[in-house]
Amino acid sequence: ATPHLDGKHVVFGQVIDGLEILRVMEACGTAQGKPTQKVTIRDCGQVGREGMLASAPKTKKARKEPTEVRALHILRKHKDSRKPSSWRQPAITCSREEAAAIVGQLRQKLAPLGGPTGWGSLKKKFEELARQHSDCSSAKSGGDLGLFGRGKMQKPFSEAAFALEVGELSDIVDTDSGVHIILRIK
């Protein structure tokens, strides 16, 4: 018998595309062999049989990239930043390496909280650390930058934010403003 997932064939025992969605669904849990939450797959990226192509959902490649994302960030400025001062310090004297080390330590605290089951706790901890450590004025709102479109932020920041999945934490991102970590929330 061929394995199935919601009526779809599974190739070599794995879903080829959308494995992260499957993991989120599995993380919802079961009780007595039944799902504890209702899960709806809105677009599985399936291409229909010949003759059905026009009505089939768009494939992943054909889907539009988001025009806006919402992200939280933590910024640590350094003496070579384009504006080496912040709302918490009138003059920033640390080196780029020192700023990156601080951001790296913060990222290490956050990384274990990620994944489908830790999304809420990751966001909460990120906001807490942003309030304590970020040199950006957005620290007062937990690092929340709100919605922004492509090209509205410095290029390395924008590219990193748009490359993330919702709930994903970036690696360290370097810009003229300083050193960041980003958490995409929408």
Query: What is the distance, to the nearest Å, from the Cα of residue 29 to the centroid of all Cα atoms in its chain?
Result: 23
Do the beta carbons of residue 95 and residue 179 sit within 8 Å? no
The answer to whether the beta carbons of residues 110 and 126 sit under 8 Å apart is yes
Q: Which structure tokens are listed for 141?
A: 């709102």
- The closest of 44, 59, 57, 101 to 78, measured between CA atoms, is 101
139 neighbors 130 (Cβ within 8 angstroms): yes
167 closest CA partner among 23, 6, 15, 5: 23
User: If you write DSSP's letter for every residue of 13-32 in order, what string do you get?
Assistant: TB-SS-HHHHHHHHHT-EET
Q: Please identify every residue annotated as catalytic.
A: 73, 136, 154, 177, 180
